[in-house]
Amino acid sequence: MNIRQRTTGCCAEPTAPAELPGATRERWVAVFKAMADPTRLEVLRLIAAQAEPVCVCDVVEQVDVSQPTISHHLKVLREAGLVTVSRRGVWAYYAVDPRGVAVLDEAFGALATASLAAAV
């Protein structure tokens, strides 16, 4: 996405943000899309609240949607890099992926830094 420069106008031209590398943009978009669904956000919050990885059966019990729907939401969270999965026999256990949290920290940090710079 390119920011177009205005040639004329009634007010001051906005400052263009620093270029965001394509890979970073794609990663941020994937993470924010995954978190944009209310059920996925609650599933992620549930998983993040646990000291240890949580069994998928416990996630299903805590969220008011069907098991196949939970599986879909967990797949989206996993593909976005927000959770990891490990297998123990027939059960899958989910934990927050620290690398996904780092992406969120990076995105929010960049937005906060840009906001503070613009205020100066």
SS3 letters across the chain: CCCCCCCCCCCCCCCCCCCCCHHHHHHHHHHHHHHCCHHHHHHHHHHHCCCCCEEHHHHHHHCCCCHHHHHHHHHHHHHCCCEEEEEECCEEEEEECHHHHHHHHHHHHHHHHHHHHHHC
Q: Count how many domains the chain has.
A: 1
Whether 73 is in a domain gets the answer yes
Whether the pLDDT of residue 1 is over 90: the answer is no
Predicted TM-score (pTM) of this structure: 0.80
Q: What is the CATH number of the domain that holds 43?
A: 1.10.10.10
Residue % of the chain over a pLDDT of 70: 87
Whether 5 is in a domain gets the answer no
Closest among 18, 15, 2, 27 to 106, alpha carbons compared:
27
Whether 81 is in a domain gets the answer yes
Name the more confident of 79 and 118.
79
Whether 1 is in a domain gets the answer no
Q: What is the pLDDT of residues 6-42, one digit of tens each?
A: 566 678 777 777 788 899 999 999 999 999 999 999 9
Q: pLDDT confidence of 3, banded at 50, 70, 90?
A: low
pLDDT of residue 111: 82
